[in-house]
Chains A and B, each alone.
Chain A
Amino acid sequence: MRRIRHRAAKARRGRYAVPVVVALLALVATAAAFAASGWPTATQEVASSGIQPKIKFCGTKPITLAVEDGFGVNAWSQESYAAVKSTAGQCSNVKVIAAAGGGVESTAIQDISQAVAQGANAITVIPDFGSAELPAIQSATKAGVKVVPWGAAPGGTPGTDYVTYVDWNDAYAGTLWANWMVKALHGHGNVVYTGGPAGNPVGADQLAAIVKVFAKHPGMKLLTGDKTWPVTNWDPATAATVTASLLSQFPKINGIISNYGTDALASAQAFQKAGRKLVPIATLDANGLSCLYKSKKVPLETISSRNWLGRIAARKAIAAAEGIKNLEPSLISLPPWEDTLAGKTYKCDPHAAQDFYPSNKITTAQIKQYGSSS
């Protein structure tokens, strides 16, 4: 089975997380310094979902931008393509080409080389296979192409191996979720955590952050363990099965933390199927989940699915190829998008699809026009 991995939390493979974080924090600081001179702060980027009409990045030189994604075949990928391609669409001098790896490592690697061969001057890439895609990225950089990886860490050194790396802070998300869950359960309760494919670094970073928070609250119990989690592969069907078995294993589950909103929705539906009451969930935003929890009035906290970071990645890649300075922040700690305990209410759009992510401010028309590799 090829496409078992639905991708939600994209910043996997965080082996190089520490140096990357350090480098990027420095950049964030620089960006803050420039705030006065007109560059947006991280908070401003979050508030506008990366939509910054005033920033000039198009230039005049006719160039080709290649939009690459190692996965590229689910709803999350559609919104990512839409974010990048709609931003590039603002520049009449930029020709866009795109490809998807289809969740196959060799194809993802091949796509990057092919983009160079096709004459791309700039590349945005979601390197789902992490460091395995680094040699291809390095080779592209060596060939004079401006590469901006985003959404998954490629390892290597920003500035040398590629222009820069745009993403969220994944461990920060884990801390947010854990703290919110403590609050929702008043410091006492049994929590399950689902983190996608076995051993993926995003899930691991987040679990470590959760464990750290819960350690300070002896009443909080992580039923799924401190080292591993039940494997969902970011696939809602698997998540539903996994939840059903958790329900039979543990008579009392008070809360769910998941790093993919669509997985969380599947877990909630499994609760309903088993005739159990819905419990508080902390996860990424997904329209279907918001609507379900709104109708049942159950506490919910979500963080943006963050596809809008693609807008920043696109601007940075094009600007680099055009020789224009771009000092927007690259690494952004995302605040909650919905937090029903703190007055950030359910953002349910009853007319949109279940796997629509409202936090991106991407319209369905944009998804239709830009949301694929072809």
Chain B
Amino acid sequence: MDSPSVVLRLSDVVKTFPGVVALKGVTFEVLAGEVHALVGENGAGKSTLMAVAAGSTVPDSGTVEIGGDPLEAASPLAAQALGLAIVYQHLSILEDLTVAENMVFAMPAAQRPPMSRASTWARERLAVVGAAIDPAERVVDLSTANRQLVEIAKALALDAKVLILDEPTESLTRVESERLFENLRAIRDKGTAVVYISHRLPEVKRVADRITVLRDGETRGTFEATGISEGEILRLIIGRAVEQVFPEKREGVERAQALLSVDRLSGAGFHDVSVDVEPGEIVGLAGVEGNGQRSFLRALAGMAPAQGQAVIAGLALRLGRPTRMRSAGLIHLPGDRHREGVMLSLGVRENVMLLALRGAARGGFVRRALERPLVSRQIARLGVRTPSQETPVSSLSGGNQQKVLFARALLGEPRVLLADEPTRGVDAGARIDLYQVMRDAAGGGRAVLVLSSDAVELQGLCDRVLVFSRGRVVRELEGEAINEENITGAAVTSDGERHQGDRAPSQLRARRLRRFVSGDYLPAVVLAFLIAVMAIATQIDAGRFLSAYNLQSMLTLASTLAFVSMGQLVIMLTGNFDLSVGPLMGLVTVVVSFFWSTGQGSGELILGILAVIGTALAVGLVNGGLVRFGGLKAVLATLSTYIVVQGVALQLRPEEAGELRPSITAGIGTGVGWFPVAAIAAVVVAIVAEVILRRTRAGLQLRAVGSDETRAHRLGARVNLTVLAAFAICALFAVAAGIMLAGQIGIGDGDPTLSANYTLTSIAACALGGASIYGGRGSFIGALLGAVLLTEVVAAVPFLQIALSWNDWTPGIMILVAAGIFSRVRGGRGALLGTGESG
């Protein structure tokens, strides 16, 4: 090769965060056609450096060049346009969107396939990384490994000049990792520059052409991968010589009485697991992800139901409750640190003390004076690097967060530590510390069970390793037999490897059913069913319910509610609420009453429409502005506009006045036979809005922002614009609803009961229609049907001659049941069990 060109050049980059200099003038060059590994401890500055390259972090000084062109402004979109693609360690994948939607959304306009081809296109791109994932699958239902694969497929699809991968193999199996390496080599050979960030030095040595070491915000040199040993790299990373990574294993110990004795334990995902753990032992749990090892560990922690026997120090354990297991001395260190481990916003002290508060309390009150020495002893013992005891855990590096977890566990007086992936996302230096911590923890009559997907780690650390496959222990390795080949060999060769590609048709059907059940349209189907059942039941009980007069009256009211609910849905899709819709509807009746009254002409008719649209846009933009630029939560922002709009309505019409021209009220109430035109309009609008939501970039962007604002921003979504537009659109929907309301009451009316009622009912309709209050999920058809059902309930109460309270009871119960069911079928599975299995 004759001197390849530099495609990514960072020159003299300086970046300071409050109190820390993250990068002290780093210069870093990546050549076309090379895999360039970037290694260093967490906190060394790798992620910051790459964030600067990707345009998502603004450096204090220094320049970025991509493909020879300078990155003028720090913007993810600009970096992407210059040809840079990045796969973040914490994935930039939107859980509420499908796989195909995620992939399409991340593409720049030039490379974006049309939505109609999205599915085929995504399947092709996924095949490149060897992932047999259904593009229609929702990401929230994917295992971590599969999400990682989607992320990588997405980055490869960008066809970038520079591809940055931050810890891409953390949750991949060996086979998947190997496939990734092949891919990386292939795209390197095509001339792409790959920046590869990893803690796994053996991997780095295998895949990289050159290696750059970063420590404390400075480069410690760039080396040819072939010219440097793992030991030398390690020395550069942690800045001192390391005699050995792993502590001494225990040796020449005689068989002792078992500390933990498990006899034929079975549960979801594992069967008949028996093991005796001796004091002083570190026992590893290995296997391909999803073969029962994690379920087993969690069952021991009491986090999942299980049958069988478990005895600790002669005491029979009653399974199934975390508190019981903890007081018996089985202490669990969760693998998903952020979700289950640390309380990110609390300080180090509070996190460490969680299990030991009783020991620091006098008379039921925790005494700071007793807490502090306990915590500082743990900090010193485990080498937690933190500015103070009160520093929020969120600002610590992954390794230090893990140490905080260990400190907490050790203060909880464990007999057996149950450690789930204790070194995931932890840098090399901290890893060494943690290995020593675990070895020490196994002393003094205690034991450690450690689950890891890193075979090298298990080899170095464990006295014994149990290899899981299909929920059973297929091999027990001891002494010299514990090595990488045996561990992965046993896991893979015992036909435990799953093949996702070829499924039986029955399984496919089951999957389609499951996807439908957890999808956006189940609520609509259920609602349609309920609407029909209720109509028929009321008709049978009371008669006349399905009379033309009643249908017309119900549909008129339902379409009013439907319009405002669809507006509310737009906001709920962004993860917000708009409380001001109700008063805005009232204000619309008031405003039109000044233009559409008796004696006014058609000129005023148009003026009135312009006036309400202007009013609505003003209210919507104020709402959006307060939320996006005023830093207010939507509930608070729209509550204040709620009050102001209500006040304006009452100011303009202190009492009902301004009777509308009969021709106008008749016009609004017009129908085709008994079917109101308004209802036809509502249905048409719902269908069009639904298509826009599913099949256009704008709809995708709306759902992306609602699903995860930060990630959507990183993927190039215009968050501010989206939210502002959402509030404006919502207000316009409220105008449509307000005009229909004006048609029904025929007069300008600022009555406050009207407002509160429509606001809350619109939220209820969306919730019934399956909208998530966290954003990202929901459907216009669902909101429409929710509005119809709620109207029907109110209509049925007088027919059935039951107490007025049923007006409130029925929707209340329905919402509770609906919310319960939706959250069960969507988030409940997997998330709670933590099995992370995808098939």
In the complex, A257 has a CB within 8 A of chain B: no
Is B549 a contact partner of A374 (Cβ separation < 8 A)?
no
Given contacts A99-B797, A102-B804, A111-B798, contact A15 B655 (CB under 8 A): yes
> Between A and B, how many residue pairs show CB distances below 8 Å?
119
Measured in the bound complex, the distance between the Cα atoms of B258 and A142 in whole Å is 89
Is A117 a contact partner of B797 (Cβ separation < 8 A)?
no
Given contacts A117-B544, A373-B804, contact A105 B654 (CB under 8 A): no
Known: A2-B757, A105-B751, A374-B801. 9 other contacts (CB 8 A): A97-B801, A104-B753, A105-B753, A106-B758, A110-B791, A116-B553, A131-B749, A134-B746, A136-B744
Note all chain A residues with C-beta closer than 8 A to B749. Answer: 105, 129, 131-132
Is A129 a contact partner of B797 (Cβ separation < 8 A)?
no
In the complex, A118 has a CB within 8 A of chain B: yes
| Identity of the chain B residue whose Cβ is nearest the Cβ of A138 in the assembled complex | B746
Given contacts A129-B751, A199-B655, contact A117 B553 (CB under 8 A): yes
Interface 1/0s, chain A 94-118, versus B by CB < 8 A?
Answer: 0001111011111101110111111
| Identity of the chain A residue whose Cβ is nearest the Cβ of B804 in the assembled complex | A100
| Identity of the chain B residue whose Cβ is nearest the Cβ of A102 in the assembled complex | B804
Given contacts A117-B547, A117-B550, A118-B798, contact A131 B751 (CB under 8 A): no
Is B753 a contact partner of A131 (Cβ separation < 8 A)?
no
Which residues of A from 115 to 136 have beta carbons under 8 Å from B? 115-119, 129-136
Interface 1/0s, chain B 557-589, versus A by CB < 8 A?
Answer: 100100000000000000000000000000000
In the complex, A261 has a CB within 8 A of chain B: no
Note all chain B residues with C-beta closer than 8 A to A299. Answer: none
In the complex, A372 has a CB within 8 A of chain B: yes
| Identity of the chain B residue whose Cβ is nearest the Cβ of A70 in the assembled complex | B753
In the complex, how many angstroms separate the beta carbon of A207 from the nearest chain B beta carbon? Answer: 14
Given contacts A15-B656, A15-B657, A100-B804, contact A113 B549 (CB under 8 A): yes
Q: 10 pairs across A/B with beta carbons < 8 Å?
A: A5-B753, A98-B801, A100-B804, A102-B807, A104-B757, A105-B757, A106-B557, A107-B757, A114-B550, A200-B655
Note all chain A residues with C-beta closer than 8 A to B798. Answer: 97-99, 111, 114-115, 118, 373
Note all chain A residues with C-beta closer than 8 A to B543. Answer: 119
Of A13, A110, A118, A374, the residue contacting B794 (CB under 8 A) is A110
Note all chain B residues with C-beta closer than 8 A to A274. Answer: none
Measured in the bound complex, the distance between the Cα atoms of B544 and A171 in whole Å is 43
Interface 1/0s, chain A 126-153, versus B by CB < 8 A?
Answer: 0001111111100000010000000000
| Identity of the chain A residue whose Cβ is nearest the Cβ of B743 in the assembled complex | A135
Is A132 a contact partner of B803 (Cβ separation < 8 A)?
no
Which residues of A from 7 to 46 have beta carbons under 8 Å from B? 13, 15
Of A5, A99, A104, A132, the residue contacting B747 (CB under 8 A) is A132
Note all chain B residues with C-beta closer than 8 A to A336. Answer: none
In the complex, how many angstroms separate the beta carbon of B763 from the nearest chain A beta carbon? Answer: 15
In the complex, how many angstroms separate the beta carbon of A302 from the nearest chain B beta carbon? Answer: 27
In the complex, how many angstroms separate the beta carbon of A256 from the nearest chain B beta carbon? Answer: 25
Please give me the 5 A-B residue pairs with the lowest Cβ-Cβ distance, nearest first: A117-B550, A113-B553, A99-B798, A132-B745, A135-B746
Binding site for B on A (CB under 8 A): 1-2, 5, 13, 15, 72-73, 97-100, 102-107, 109-111, 113-119, 129-136, 143, 155, 198-201, 372-374
Note all chain A residues with C-beta closer than 8 A to B801. Answer: 97-98, 374
Is B544 a contact partner of A118 (Cβ separation < 8 A)?
yes
In the complex, B659 has a CB within 8 A of chain A: yes
Is B553 a contact partner of A105 (Cβ separation < 8 A)?
no
Is B656 a contact partner of A110 (Cβ separation < 8 A)?
no
In the complex, B835 has a CB within 8 A of chain A: no
Interface 1/0s, chain B 754-765, versus A by CB < 8 A?
Answer: 101110000000
Is B656 a contact partner of A113 (Cβ separation < 8 A)?
no
Interface 1/0s, chain B 794-811, versus A by CB < 8 A?
Answer: 110111011110010000
Main secondary structure of the interface of A (DSSP, over half): mixed
Is B656 a contact partner of A118 (Cβ separation < 8 A)?
no
Of B650, B753, B757, B803, the residue contacting A373 (CB under 8 A) is B803
Of B654, B753, B791, the residue contacting A199 (CB under 8 A) is B654
Measured in the bound complex, the distance between the Cα atoms of B749 and A13 in whole Å is 11
Interface 1/0s, chain B 651-674, versus A by CB < 8 A?
Answer: 000111101000001000000000
Measured in the bound complex, the distance between the Cα atoms of B749 and A15 in whole Å is 13
In the complex, B346 has a CB within 8 A of chain A: no
Measured in the bound complex, the distance between the Cα atoms of B554 and A111 in whole Å is 10
In the complex, B545 has a CB within 8 A of chain A: yes
Is B745 a contact partner of A109 (Cβ separation < 8 A)?
yes
In the complex, B698 has a CB within 8 A of chain A: no
Note all chain B residues with C-beta closer than 8 A to A109. Answer: 744-745
Which residues of B from 779 to 836 have beta carbons under 8 Å from A? 791, 794-795, 797-799, 801-804, 807
Is A132 a contact partner of B656 (Cβ separation < 8 A)?
yes
Is A107 a contact partner of B794 (Cβ separation < 8 A)?
yes
Note all chain A residues with C-beta closer than 8 A to B756. Answer: 1-2
In the complex, B610 has a CB within 8 A of chain A: no
Note all chain A residues with C-beta closer than 8 A to B228. Answer: none
Measured in the bound complex, the distance between the Cα atoms of B659 and A15 in whole Å is 11
Is A114 a contact partner of B795 (Cβ separation < 8 A)?
yes
Given contacts A109-B745, A374-B803, contact A119 B544 (CB under 8 A): yes
Q: Among the interface residues A98, A135, A373, which one has the most CB atoms of the partner chain B within 10 A?
A: A135
| Identity of the chain B residue whose Cβ is nearest the Cβ of A1 in the assembled complex | B756
Measured in the bound complex, the distance between the Cα atoms of B749 and A107 in whole Å is 15
Measured in the bound complex, the distance between the Cα atoms of B751 and A198 in whole Å is 11
Given contacts A100-B804, A118-B542, A374-B802, contact A130 B656 (CB under 8 A): yes
Is B754 a contact partner of A131 (Cβ separation < 8 A)?
no
| Identity of the chain A residue whose Cβ is nearest the Cβ of B795 in the assembled complex | A114
Given contacts A132-B751, A374-B801, contact A106 B655 (CB under 8 A): no
In the complex, how many angstroms separate the beta carbon of B697 from the nearest chain A beta carbon? Answer: 37
Given contacts A99-B797, A117-B544, contact A13 B656 (CB under 8 A): yes
Is B656 a contact partner of A131 (Cβ separation < 8 A)?
yes
In the complex, how many angstroms separate the beta carbon of B296 from the nearest chain A beta carbon? Answer: 53
Of A13, A97, A113, A374, the residue contacting B804 (CB under 8 A) is A374
Measured in the bound complex, the distance between the Cα atoms of B791 and A5 in whole Å is 24
In the complex, how many angstroms separate the beta carbon of A230 from the nearest chain B beta carbon? Answer: 17
Measured in the bound complex, the distance between the Cα atoms of B741 and A133 in whole Å is 12
Note all chain B residues with C-beta closer than 8 A to A115. Answer: 798
Is A107 a contact partner of B746 (Cβ separation < 8 A)?
no
Is A72 a contact partner of B804 (Cβ separation < 8 A)?
yes
Note all chain B residues with C-beta closer than 8 A to A118. Answer: 542, 544, 550, 798-799
Is A131 a contact partner of B747 (Cβ separation < 8 A)?
yes
Given contacts A135-B745, A199-B655, contact A114 B553 (CB under 8 A): yes
Measured in the bound complex, the distance between the Cα atoms of B751 and A199 in whole Å is 11
Measured in the bound complex, the distance between the Cα atoms of B744 and A241 in whole Å is 37
Note all chain A residues with C-beta closer than 8 A to B659. Answer: 131, 155
Measured in the bound complex, the distance between the Cα atoms of B703 and A16 in whole Å is 50
In the complex, how many angstroms separate the beta carbon of A350 from the nearest chain B beta carbon? Answer: 31
Note all chain A residues with C-beta closer than 8 A to B747. Answer: 131-132, 134, 155
Note all chain A residues with C-beta closer than 8 A to B741. Answer: 106
Measured in the bound complex, the distance between the Cα atoms of B655 and A13 in whole Å is 7
In the complex, how many angstroms separate the beta carbon of B793 from the nearest chain A beta carbon? Answer: 11
Note all chain A residues with C-beta closer than 8 A to B744. Answer: 109, 135-136
Measured in the bound complex, the distance between the Cα atoms of B741 and A99 in whole Å is 21
Note all chain B residues with C-beta closer than 8 A to A102. Answer: 804, 807
Note all chain B residues with C-beta closer than 8 A to A97. Answer: 798, 801
Of B545, B650, B802, the residue contacting A117 (CB under 8 A) is B545
In the complex, how many angstroms separate the beta carbon of B271 from the nearest chain A beta carbon? Answer: 56
Note all chain B residues with C-beta closer than 8 A to A119. Answer: 543-544
In the complex, how many angstroms separate the beta carbon of B549 from the nearest chain A beta carbon? Answer: 5
Measured in the bound complex, the distance between the Cα atoms of B751 and A100 in whole Å is 18
Is B557 a contact partner of A110 (Cβ separation < 8 A)?
yes
Measured in the bound complex, the distance between the Cα atoms of B798 and A107 in whole Å is 11
In the complex, how many angstroms separate the beta carbon of A334 from the nearest chain B beta carbon? Answer: 23
| Identity of the chain A residue whose Cβ is nearest the Cβ of B799 in the assembled complex | A118
In the complex, how many angstroms separate the beta carbon of A128 from the nearest chain B beta carbon? Answer: 9
Given contacts A104-B753, A129-B751, A132-B751, contact A114 B799 (CB under 8 A): yes
Is B553 a contact partner of A106 (Cβ separation < 8 A)?
no
In the complex, how many angstroms separate the beta carbon of B466 from the nearest chain A beta carbon? Answer: 61
